[in-house]
Amino acid sequence: MKLNEMNRKGRSQMSTTNLTFKQLDETLEKNDIVLIDFFADWCGPCKTFAPVFEEASEKHQDIKFAKCNTEQEQQLAAAFGVRSIPTLAVFREKILLFLQPGALPKSALDELVTQVRGLDMDEVRKKEKDASEGKN
């Protein structure tokens, strides 16, 4: 057995975690980058995206990968305006950077993670501040 396989099989918990409305603030506070997969058990595209999301969580263990079951966490889904699933939300330093419905292919999710990691967050905060003050 390869070491990689042993590590995977020996883990005591999954790389992704379930997210509730009560856990949202703490999750964003404690993690630099957070990806949230809004899904439902009955959703075909959600089932297609789930292994892609799980694989990314194993590859990027420094990032928090959370799943929100929209049937059980309707308040959280409503807070994000989720109307179609799967929907992916991405935060960095508590700033929402991406919110889009649709099942991303592995390559697109990897590219999104790369882009989020590469962002100049000082510039993002400046643009966010300027936008809130009505500056261009």
* Residue 46 known to be catalytic: yes
Instruction: Report the half-sphere exposure of 44 (CA within 13 A, side-chain side).
Output: 0
CA dist 131 and 136 (Å) reads 7
User: Catalytic one among 24, 34, 36, 46?
Assistant: 46
* Residue 68 known to be catalytic: no
User: Catalytic one among 35, 43, 109, 116?
Assistant: 43
Q: Which DSSP string do the residues of 57-71 spell out, in sequence order?
A: HHH-TTSEEEEEETT
Residues carrying an active site annotation: 43, 46
